[in-house]
Amino acid sequence: MHRRHALGAAITGLAAAGCASTTVASASPFSVAQPVVPIAGSSEVFPVRRIYCIGRNYAAHAREMGSDPTREPPFFFQKPSDAVQFVAPGVLTPHPYPTLTRNYHYELELVAALHKGGRNVPVEKALELVYGYAVGLDMTRRDLQRGMGDQKKPWEIGKSFDRSAPIGPIHRVAQVGHFTQGAITLKVNGVTKQDANLNQMIWSVAEQIAQLSQAFELMPGDLIFSGTPENVGPVIPGDLMEGSIAGLPGLSVKVVA
């Protein structure tokens, strides 16, 4: 009897705490910005919930990173949502060279932006979750990524740092359709570095969504960086990166000290 009372009191206490925290949440001592990406042809912005990235999703890139593309299931990592750095089309945007690295790499990628969520989404339904697409860069402190990998430690510091995800505006599927093929190219200082086709992805965007949704509940606001083709490489302050994906406006980023 006493026990029951104690439990009841505890539950009541929890419920009260729940109420209290709801009240407190509406009156924070400071505000935290919601990261957003502008939506092309609209005054609206896309609120970013999570950023997922797939690793080694083009065979030639998997080989250059030292793995066998034929045997590996897809793997994913995340960047914090406030890693997005918006790059407006036609605007040369300064991008600060990050701390701690001496080997700072570009990875140009198609980004899928979700407006619906789900768990265990079948491949055939996966593209229904996609609101639109953008051009993005999965910027990487390659030396730190490799160093941590060699020590069997998390990649975090190599991949998930501030402004590590420059991104152009999101173009709605209604405007641009889905991307299963098309040129994906990156120039540095006018010289072509990455030059591939989206149809060379090992796992399509639909397959990535299906796979991700087995590990995580996907939600509106999630971004998926769909992997980079081969010929990743370094940039240094002063370098101009120009990324393009057929059907989307280009991304121009100037690395600054």
Footprint of Mn ion on residues 105-124 (CB under 5 A)?
107
Q: What gap in Å lies between CA 4 and CA 9, rounded to an integer? A: 8
- The reply on whether position 228 binds Mn ion by CB under 5 A is yes
Stretch in the footprint of Mn ion (CB under 5 A) among 58-66, 110-118, 119-127, 226-234: 226-234
Helices (H) and strands (E) in the chain, counts: 7, 18
What is the pattern of x (binds Mn ion, CB under 5 A) and - over residues 137-156?
A: -x------------------
Minimal CB distance residue for Mn ion: 138
SS3 53: strand
Query: How big is the site for Mn ion, counted in residues (CB under 5 A)?
Result: 3
Q: Phi and psi of 48, rounded to 5°?
A: -90, 125
In the complex, what is the shortest distance from the CB of residue 231 to Mn ion, in angstroms, rounded to a whole number?
Answer: 13
- The reply on whether position 226 binds Mn ion by CB under 5 A is no
Q: Rank residues 75 and 183 by Cβ distance to Mn ion and give the closer one.
A: 75
Stretch in the footprint of Mn ion (CB under 5 A) among 64-72, 130-138, 173-181, 191-199: 130-138
Q: Rank residues 108 and 126 by Cβ distance to Mn ion and give the closer one.
A: 108
Footprint of Mn ion on residues 52-111 (CB under 5 A)?
107
Q: What gap in Å lies between CA 13 and CA 7, rounded to an integer? A: 10
Q: What gap in Å lies between CA 214 and CA 74, rounded to an integer? A: 12
The amino acid that residue 59 corresponds to is A
SS3 239: coil
Footprint of Mn ion on residues 13-32 (CB under 5 A)?
none
Q: Which of 226, 245, 221 is nearest to 168 (CA)?
A: 245
Q: How many residues does the chain have?
A: 257
- The reply on whether position 222 binds Mn ion by CB under 5 A is no
Q: By the criterion CB under 5 A, which residues form the site for Mn ion? A: 107, 138, 228
